Structure 1
């Protein structure tokens, strides 16, 4: 099963990663938001909470930002010494907050079940239950053509899985059967575990590193070298 999506909102995988990273950091590290280009690049290249893992350069991120600004999905703030970027997804895409949160997580982590989405959105938005998550996903799937058409698709059940996963359509049509065959290493019930806690800690450490590098750059000092005592 393949669904199409209006070209006006079709993103490249890099643009989707940049946009979703801005959406994530606005929720999880508001004190460091909006983000500089360097902080945004580091966020995009995190090894945890990302599917797939990417290795983007500043040029890759800058190019994606230009495209996203042309679509009114990102804004640049040039009032300070360093240009900073913030997303405008909810208004640009014309979706409510809850739908924006779900789309952001799907762009960051790939296809997920409704239960996984409820767990993974905990730091972004607290859904009352899995049914409320499913309700917003169904609205996104049934979005009328005059509003731009569907933004998500419910995938075929993967072999051995108890629940079906959902995928976003912001990068264009997807092959639902192919995604289903790929399976998922995550538990179908979305229960929290050691891996989830490790991912959260790794994400927080990566953000702290980005903040330190940014502060060192603004102060004109060399960043600390891991394992070397500072004097």
Structure 2
């Protein structure tokens, strides 16, 4: 199961509002459209129509990720992501942020997660990401295979970047136009080690060059 951008935005918005505004949850269709299209805490900002949100809800209901509740006045919607995807509270917060704001570093996730889940430190976010990235797939390959299996992956670190970013896998292996494919956790870690070693070698090379220049100046001034 791969979700399109509208479906991801609808599901992410439902998860967010359940945690941050429980008194207003479940959401009516109108409230859900507003949540999907809000300007804050969204990247990219979307302009989904009521019809597009309704269509996304229909697909999510087919995947058992959303349920419609009929109250006295209007139908309302709630998500079932934690049950279907077998998520803990910290994992739910991370997946929600990745759905609503795209690939992010562990530091960005910690800074933006305060209303969803209070991580004590970046190491806690890293641990959650690694747990989500290393979940084994279902052995039977059944139709609800998304309930297990890796849900996030580490992206290759762009040149000059200090940290690598993680992306969720509910929308496919590569969600950014022109981005490289996500790396397996082991390969990504090795890539980070190589990048650090290359940076250290570059610093050593600069130091040797400066030392050589100083020695030449001393010899010239004798």
- After TM superposition, the score normalised by the length of structure 1 is 0.70
Q: Of the two, which has the highest radius of gyration?
A: 2
User: Which whole-Å deviations, capped at 9, do the CAs of 1:106-162 have from their partners, x for residues lacking one?
Assistant: 000001110110111100110121111111111111111226421111111123221
Larger RCO: 1 or 2 (CA < 8 Å, sep 6+): 1
Counterpart mapping for 1:157-172 below 5 A: 157-172=157-172
CA distance in 2, matches of 1:46, 1:175: 21
Task: Decide whether the 8 Å contact of 1:156 with 1:177 is kept in 2.
Answer: no
Task: Decide whether the 8 Å contact of 2:86 with 2:148 is kept in 1.
Answer: no
Describe the SS at the equivalent of 1:159.
coil
Residue 154 of structure 2 aligns with which residue? 154
Residue 173 of structure 1 aligns with which residue? 173
Coordinate RMSD, CA, aligned: 1.9
Name segments (4+ residues, structure 1) moved above 3 Å. 175-180
Using the TM superposition, name which of 31-40 and 154-163 deviates more: 154-163
Task: Count the aligned residue pairs.
Answer: 173
Distance 1:43 1:160, change over 3 A: same
For structure 1, the residue ranges without an aligned partner over 5 or more in a row are 1-6, 181-231
Describe the SS at the equivalent of 1:23.
helix
CA distance in 2, matches of 1:25, 1:169: 22
Describe the SS at the equivalent of 1:118.
helix
- After TM superposition, the score normalised by the length of structure 2 is 0.73
1:127 aligns with 2:119: yes
| CA positional deviation for 1:93 | 1.0
Task: Decide whether the 8 Å contact of 1:154 with 1:166 is kept in 2.
Answer: yes
Distance 1:176 1:48, change over 3 A: closer
